[in-house]
């Protein structure tokens, strides 16, 4: 499959979500994301405003998490988180479903919980990725979530937080692409650690990947395409998935 550097770089949401990351680590991660011109930086909410300020004027979007990583926040709390994120300059919100309620089968609650965040984001003209945490779910639950997200016009369905017991699998990505509506994109998180893996999931119809090993993925791509190496002392910054 042929691709350009931009095709692959704009698949990557550079993850800066490890709780022990310092401010210096976060700043270095933003530097890296800008240097590689990725799709977005997904950063801890408290540092989102600074991140959005740093990304202003670039082609890299500011993103953050809602109800992360366990999804058990109240719907009101998730709505407030979303409102604060948007006020801080967020362009894409990665929200975790209420995993407990999915496993319970309380689909009315699950739907209302997702809808609350989507309504806030879409009213502001921004986008939402809905995280399933597939390692805890069976296929029927994953399919139902794809259907709910399609009905609510979520922008992406996403495999995982990167903090459950497993990340994206080929089987889950195929299932999500098959059962999500055409207007819903698919994001992989966890497990996409090199160029071959990124190209493989792209072939399945995945449009975004949460990744912290951005330089390890994109440096070989640049080399293959005959592009100059990114000269950055920050190139090894590892921030999550």
Instruction: Give the residue numbers marked as catalytic.
Output: 94, 158, 187
Cβ atoms of 72 and 100 within 8 Å: the answer is yes
Tokens at 59, concatenated: 């082609």
Contacts within 8 Å (CB) and 24+ apart, 58-63: 58/34, 60/33, 60/34, 61/91, 61/92, 62/89, 62/90, 62/91, 62/92, 63/13, 63/90, 63/91, 63/92, 63/93, 63/94
Cβ atoms of 162 and 241 within 8 Å: the answer is yes
* Residue 6, burial from CB neighbour count under 10 angstroms (0-12, 13-18, 19+): exposed
Tokens at 92, concatenated: 């894409």
């Amino acid at each position: 499959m042929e691709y350009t550097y931009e095709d692959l770089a704009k698949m990557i949401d550079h993850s800066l979500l490890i709780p022990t990351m310092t401010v210096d680590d976060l700043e270095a991660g933003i530097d890296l994301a800008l240097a590689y011109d990725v799709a977005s930086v997904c950063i801890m909410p408290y540092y989102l405003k600074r991140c959005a300020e740093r990304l202003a004027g670039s082609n890299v979007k500011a993103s953050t998490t809602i109800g992360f990583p366990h999804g058990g926040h109240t719907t009101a709390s998730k709505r407030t988180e979303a409102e604060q994120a948007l006020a801080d300059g967020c362009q894409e919100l990665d929200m975790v479903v209420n995993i407990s309620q999915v496993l319970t089968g309380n689909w009315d609650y699950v739907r209302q919980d997702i809808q609350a965040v989507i309504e806030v984001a879409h009213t502001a003209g921004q986008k939402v990725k809905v995280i399933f945490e597939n390692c805890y779910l069976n296929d029927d639950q994953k399919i139902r979530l794809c259907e709910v997200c399609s009905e609510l016009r979520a922008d992406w369905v996403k495999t995982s937080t990167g903090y459950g017991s497993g990340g994206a699998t080929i089987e889950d990505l195929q299932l999500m692409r098959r059962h999500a509506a055409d207007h819903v994109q698919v994001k992989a998180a966890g497990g996409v650690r090199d160029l071959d893996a990124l190209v493989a999931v792209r072939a399945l119809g995945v449009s975004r990947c949460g990744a912290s090993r951005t330089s390890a993925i994109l440096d070989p791509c640049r080399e293959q395409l005959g592009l100059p190496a990114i000269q950055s002392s920050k190139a090894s910054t590892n921030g999550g998935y």
